[in-house]
Amino acid sequence: MARRRWLWPVAAAVVCALSILAAFGPLERNRRSDDDGHALFADGWRIRLADDAVTEKMAAREYATHLREYADAGILDNDLYLTEVVGSVATPLIAAARELYPQTRDWPWEWHLADTGEVNAWCLPGGRIMVLSGLLDDSVLGDDRDRLATILAHEVAHAVLHHSRESVGHAWAAQGLAWTVAKSLKIGAMRESRLTSALKTALLDPRTRARETEADTLGLELMARAGFSPAKAVETWERMAERQAPAARTPTAQRALAFLGDHPSDSERLERLRRLYPQAQPLADSSQKWDWMTHALDPEQSEALSRAANAFGLDRLTLAEDRKLVAAFAAAEHLSTARASSEIEQAMWETALDPGGALQLGLSAMVHVIGGWDRLNRVETAWSKLRHAKPLLEDPEQIKRLALSEEDRAVTQTTIRRLAAYLAAPRTQRRLWRDAAEELGKTMPKGRQAILDRLEEAP
Amino acid sequence: MSKTAAIPFSAGALWAEKGWALLRRRPFFFVFAALAVLGLRWLFDFAPVDGASAVVIAVSYLTDALVVATLWTALDTPGGTGLWGGWRRLTGRRWRVALSGLWGLPSAALGYVMLALSTTLAQPVSMALGTRFAGWALLAWIFLSGAVCCLLLFGALFAAIDTARGETRLWTAGMRGMRAMVLGWRPLLALWTAFVCGAALVALVSATVLGHLGFDVIDGADRDLLEYWINWPALFAAVLALLCMIGPAARQLFATAEQRSLVDGQSESTFGQMAARRLGVALMALATVFALAGMFAIDMSLDLALLGSAGLATTGWALNRSAPAWGNLDSSLWERWNWVAAAALWAAVVAGAA
């Protein structure tokens, strides 16, 4: 029998390789350990070949590249109404994620909307969220916050579970293996890419689909903890599934697509979510009040907001200036123009301040941009001490006369600009009109239809 | 053990032991030879992804044949000589040796077809048996495709060695090389398995290294360079191991083949006939799989699948029919290769239909 001396260097190399993997392929568990008993998702141990810092840096670069590209094209956060919709959903989701996964508290969380028209959203490592405007089109999710929360919570779940870290490491490994095999067997670049893609499909895609399932489950939990309706998750994914061509919706096609695609089939996803969402409902019911928009304001906040709205001049917001719409409504309901204006204004104030209403979003943005309740109170107090004060939106120059620190003054100026642009945005006006029309429709259906028809005709 | 059975898996360990002894005796010799092969592989990266790439790959089979024949000749010289000495002793046979590299083309063609079909074939499997099973099936298919490519590549290298030993006829050298490969398929498969496992382990370590080297440590062009070169050491180790073992392997397999010829009358001719017949049947079986894939895979039109299936079946049938010519030394080129015309005709029809 041969003495097998060749085995020693081979064994030594294998031991070295395994030691490196054991030392640097960390096995991690991230979720807060003191769970409240409502967890839908148990974070398991997993091997990650890439370090957090490396993927974080890669994500930061990728995000910066996108931001530059979108900003240069003038499509970054340019739709102020939809930007506030995104912010009003992202903010409570971020709070829920930070609460549940403490290591994400140091992340540089950020969110933006890009008006590319594409239907997509993502959250890169480090909490860098991007929503592409096609997702918020009326034919997809519209401006429904619960629907958007479903998608964003799924993406945020990917980020907090470090799925990018996992997939980057695994993809490098598959690529390395494919490269070595291709070079050894003298496979050219074209076949090397085929081999890489086949290896990724065989080795990684089943894992990718498992990650998608994890993101669905944790996403449902996050959105519930953030106060959004988990029942809407099923409806949202149904809407997303309906966007596929009819041929791709058959069970056979679904199974085929599930193998070649990186997401589970729609039928699997919907079945799982239908099973899970009742468990998430108690979480939504008892969710913490990270976002006053999804819950009632406390009396102190309500008072502060009322005074601030007065200072900024939000209480003077009116829809009646759009004569054509008012006339259309008046004609449909056989009302005088004055009566029609009055009915419309009343309906607007009844709906605009509802949770998720257009004005609520504006107020939320105001509190968000100004940096919180304390500064809002300081600004309101300083404004109230001015003689012959006018609303800040009406006369922004007054800011120079307010007794405020330089920082407070600068932030307030930004807030005024942003708020003015938000209120003037066509989408905001459209939303206010639409909500008012729905409210009016409860008693005056013809008037409602006239407004909606007129809005439909408008560019 | 039956005298006609393929040699056992354990022969691989014996080749490794002998290869290890050779490497320890002449480390620089093998390192230089491995570097020469790697240098030729490096040239692949400069070929564009089109027809030029295919030409570079085809030429590489010829250059690999020359490197292996040079190495064999150098080792086979009494008292031993260097690579340059081996190259000089090949004088007068170099062109024939280079041509024997053409026996590597079946490896390229079969590898291409098997890899191209991989995801298409996995799709119906996933629909019938689920994605998890399809994932494993695809992995097995890739492993099998690689093994077939690797075994055929060994056949070409053995053909080059046979030419270096003095065989003058391309067909006989090829048949002898392929026959040696078939005799040694078990240990060769074991070597392929060890190589894949080793490459997977090294790829995991490489990914871990890349994943833990922060951008503050290495970035920009340096990082790109590292990403490009990080897998080369693994390839070097694989090529070095191959070059060390190819000599002992060829020696044992040729000796076994010659012994079998004496004992049971097996020859290159009968081997050629048997191989052509079996490959013909295999192609016809593949035609059935292709037709089934066309019926179930949603990204392929049924017409195209049936056309491709008919082409494979006709080619297989023609190859099967040409089997007697492969067993007859006096057969004409047309009698042996007319099945290629059938394949080319169908390929043209399929390309036209697509």
- Residue ranges in B184-231 assigned as alpha helix (H): 185-212, 220-229
Q: Mean per-residue pLDDT for B124-133?
A: 73
Question: pLDDT of chain A along its 459 residues, tens only?
Answer: 446 677 777 788 888 877 777 776 655 667 776 666 778 887 766 777 888 889 999 999 999 999 999 999 999 988 888 888 898 899 889 989 998 898 899 999 999 999 999 999 999 999 999 999 999 988 889 888 899 999 999 999 999 998 888 888 888 888 888 888 888 887 655 566 777 777 777 766 667 778 888 899 999 999 999 888 899 999 998 888 887 655 555 555 555 555 455 555 677 788 888 988 888 888 888 775 555 454 556 778 778 888 888 888 887 788 877 888 899 999 999 999 999 999 998 888 888 777 677 887 777 777 777 877 888 889 999 999 888 888 998 888 888 888 899 999 999 998 888 888 888 888 888 888 988 999 999 999 999 999 999 888 766
User: Could A184 and B238 be called an inter-chain contact, meaning their C-beta atoms sit closer than 8 Å?
Assistant: yes
Q: Is A263 on the interface with B (CB under 8 A)?
A: no
Of B201, B215, B231, the CB nearest to A54: B215
A124 pairs with which residues across the strands?
A128
Quote the tokens at residue A220: 């449902």
pLDDT at B2: 45
- Nearest chain A residue to B210 by CA: give it: A50
Query: Taking CB atoms and an 8 Å cutoff, what residues of chain A touch B108?
Result: 186
Q: Is A1 on the interface with B (CB under 8 A)?
A: no
Model ipTM value: 0.82
User: Could A252 and B209 be called an inter-chain contact, meaning their C-beta atoms sit closer than 8 Å?
Assistant: no
User: Could B203 and A176 be called an inter-chain contact, meaning their C-beta atoms sit closer than 8 Å?
Assistant: yes
Q: Is A362 on the interface with B (CB under 8 A)?
A: no
Task: Report the run of H or E that residue A361 belongs to, with start and end.
Answer: helix A358-370
Beta carbons of B67 and B75 less than 8 angstroms apart: no
User: Could A6 and B212 be called an inter-chain contact, meaning their C-beta atoms sit closer than 8 Å?
Assistant: no
pLDDT at B221: 87
Of A3, A21, A181, the CB nearest to B205: A21
- Nearest chain A residue to B152 by CA: give it: A185
Q: Which of A295, A285, A276 is nearest to A154 (CA)?
A: A276
pLDDT at B154: 94
- Nearest chain A residue to B113 by CA: give it: A191
User: Could A57 and B215 be called an inter-chain contact, meaning their C-beta atoms sit closer than 8 Å?
Assistant: yes
Which of A58, A62, A172 is the best residue to mutate to test the B interface, defined by the most B CB atoms within 10 Å of its own CB?
A: A172
Q: How far is A22 from chain B (nearest CA, A)?
A: 10
User: Could B195 and A50 be called an inter-chain contact, meaning their C-beta atoms sit closer than 8 Å?
Assistant: no
User: Could B14 and A185 be called an inter-chain contact, meaning their C-beta atoms sit closer than 8 Å?
Assistant: no
B295 pairs with which residues across the strands?
none
Query: Taking CB atoms and an 8 Å cutoff, what residues of chain B touch A175?
Result: 203
Residue A111 backbone dihedrals phi, psi, to 5 degrees = -140, 145
pTM of structure: 0.76
From residue B53, alpha-carbon distances to A183, B49, B231 in Å are 13, 6, 21
**Residue A124: partners with Cβ closer than 8 Å, 6 or more residues away:** A59, A62, A63, A130, A159, A164
- Nearest chain A residue to B238 by CA: give it: A184
Q: Is A202 on the interface with B (CB under 8 A)?
A: yes
Query: Taking CB atoms and an 8 Å cutoff, what residues of chain B touch A170?
Result: 207
- Give the Cα separation of A110 and B153 in Å (integer): 54
Q: How far is A264 from chain B (nearest CA, A)?
A: 10
Q: How far is A25 from chain B (nearest CA, A)?
A: 7
Q: Is A423 on the interface with B (CB under 8 A)?
A: no
- Give the Cα separation of A381 and A403 in Å (integer): 9
Question: Alpha carbon A165 to chain centroid distance?
Answer: 21
- Nearest chain B residue to A198 by CA: give it: B119
User: Could B210 and A172 be called an inter-chain contact, meaning their C-beta atoms sit closer than 8 Å?
Assistant: yes
Cβ atoms within 10 A of the Cβ of B33, count? 24
pLDDT at B262: 63
Q: Is A176 on the interface with B (CB under 8 A)?
A: yes
Question: Alpha carbon A417 to chain centroid distance?
Answer: 24
- Give the Cα separation of A289 and A291 in Å (integer): 5
- Give the Cα separation of B269 and B181 in Å (integer): 15
**Residue A299: partners with Cβ closer than 8 Å, 6 or more residues away:** none
Residues B7-46 pLDDT 10s: 888 888 899 999 999 999 999 999 999 998 888 878 767 7
- Give the Cα separation of A331 and A345 in Å (integer): 17
- Give the Cα separation of B74 and B101 in Å (integer): 19
Residues A347-388 pLDDT 10s: 888 887 776 778 877 777 777 778 778 888 899 999 998 888
pLDDT at A79: 83
User: Could B131 and A259 be called an inter-chain contact, meaning their C-beta atoms sit closer than 8 Å?
Assistant: yes
Beta carbons of B94 and B66 less than 8 angstroms apart: yes
Question: Alpha carbon A36 to chain centroid distance?
Answer: 25
Q: How far is B285 from chain A (nearest CA, A)?
A: 23
Model confidence at B1: pLDDT above 50: no
Q: How far is B189 from chain A (nearest CA, A)?
A: 14
Q: Which of A54-58, A425-429, B202-206, B289-293 is the least confident region? A: B289-293
User: Could A57 and B238 be called an inter-chain contact, meaning their C-beta atoms sit closer than 8 Å?
Assistant: no
- Nearest chain A residue to B135 by CA: give it: A202
Long-range contacts of B108-111 (CB under 8 A, 24+ apart): B108/A186, B108/B57, B108/B58, B108/B61, B108/B149, B110/B145, B110/B148, B110/B149, B110/B152, B111/A185, B111/A187, B111/A191, B111/B145, B111/B146, B111/B148, B111/B149
Sheet holding A110-114, edge to edge: A110-114, A128-132, A121-124
pLDDT at A147: 94
Query: How many A×B Cβ pairs under 8 Å?
Result: 200
Cβ atoms within 10 A of the Cβ of B128, count? 12
Beta carbons of B186 and B9 less than 8 angstroms apart: yes
- Give the Cα separation of A263 and A275 in Å (integer): 19
- Give the Cα separation of B49 and A188 in Å (integer): 8
Beta carbons of A29 and A43 less than 8 angstroms apart: yes
Which of B44, B59, B208 is the best residue to mutate to test the A interface, defined by the most A CB atoms within 10 Å of its own CB?
A: B208
User: Could B238 and A49 be called an inter-chain contact, meaning their C-beta atoms sit closer than 8 Å?
Assistant: no
User: Could A14 and B201 be called an inter-chain contact, meaning their C-beta atoms sit closer than 8 Å?
Assistant: yes
Residues A147-162 pLDDT 10s: 999 999 999 999 999 8
Q: How far is B203 from chain A (nearest CA, A)?
A: 5
Q: Is A204 on the interface with B (CB under 8 A)?
A: no
Q: Which of B145, B154, B62, B160 is nearest to B110 (CA)?
A: B145
User: Could A184 and B239 be called an inter-chain contact, meaning their C-beta atoms sit closer than 8 Å?
Assistant: yes
**Residue B136: partners with Cβ closer than 8 Å, 6 or more residues away:** A202
Residues B242-286 pLDDT 10s: 999 999 999 999 998 888 776 665 677 788 888 889 889 988 998
**Residue A127: partners with Cβ closer than 8 Å, 6 or more residues away:** A94, A97, A104, A107, A108, A109, A110, A156, A159
